[in-house]
Every structure is written in structure tokens, then in C-alpha cells.
Amino acid sequence: MIQRIQSLYLLLAAAAGTAALSFNLWKATLSSNPNPVTVNASSNYLLFVLYIIIILLSIGTIFLYKKRKVQFRLSIFNILFAFAALAYQYVVVQKTANKLTEGGTTIVSASYLPASFLPIVIIILLFLAARGMYKDEKLIKSLDRLR
């Protein structure tokens, strides 16, 4: 189970999802308030649910090592969830910035924090895991032909 490299990729993807869930994604400094405004995944229900799905699906997929086809399909679905989390994260940040500017406050500086780029890392790790599963399935099929 853990001897396969794709299991390590899935575990790292789950860890990256947990980190994205835990840390702030965006920070803005306002002219009227000395405290910065932050956006994190826990502050938005749908984004929180997307990251929980990514984490649970990554961990659950590790234990399906005997069912390689199902494991591969779940990894592809997980990649789609990671893309959805990345896109929705951008939407949440834009909504927050628009709400602040419509409220009459001036944003002095705003920046994405390193945790906001973790969905890209998750996508790469899940892609590498899916590629490893595909290679394993291809190897098993070639060995079945030799019998």
C-alpha cells in the first residue's frame, strides 16, 4: 500500500489540502483599519467542503490499492475537485475585494498568500499519482498477456 509511489503522492496531496484549509489564502490591508482583512477556506462553507472532499478522497484512495481502476477514477475526480477549489477560491477572494471596495473602504495593498497556491500543488500531486496508477495497470495487463 504505502510502498507504491502514488500512495505517497496521495498522502502529500492530502497534507497540502490540510495546509490550504488551515492557513489564510489572501490578505488585504485597508486604509481605514490597521488590522488586515484575511480570507481563508474555513470562512467560506463551499470552499471548506471542497477542501474536505479533496482531503478525504485522497486519503480514501490510498486504501483502494487492490482496485486500481477505481483508484484511478477517484484520483481523476479529485483532480476535478481541486480545479473547482482553485477556481472558487479566486471567486471568493474577488467577492471579498469587491465587497470591501463597495463599502467605501480603500484597499492599500492586497496579496495572495502562499497557501493559495496549494491547489496547484494538489493538482500536480494527484496527476502524478494517477499516472503511477495508470502505469501499474498497464504493467499488470502486460503480465496477464504473458500467462
pTM: 0.89
Give the integer Cα–Cα distance in Å for 117 and 40: 13
| Phi, psi angles (nearest 5°) of residue 95 | -60, -45
pLDDT per residue as tens digits for the range 32-88: 877 888 889 888 899 999 999 999 999 999 998 888 889 999 999 999 999 999 999
Q: Looking at domain 5-140, does it have CATH number 1.20.140.150?
A: yes
pLDDT per residue as tens digits for the range 87-135: 999 999 999 889 888 887 888 888 899 999 999 999 999 999 999 988 8
Q: What is the residue extent of each domain of the chain?
A: 5-140
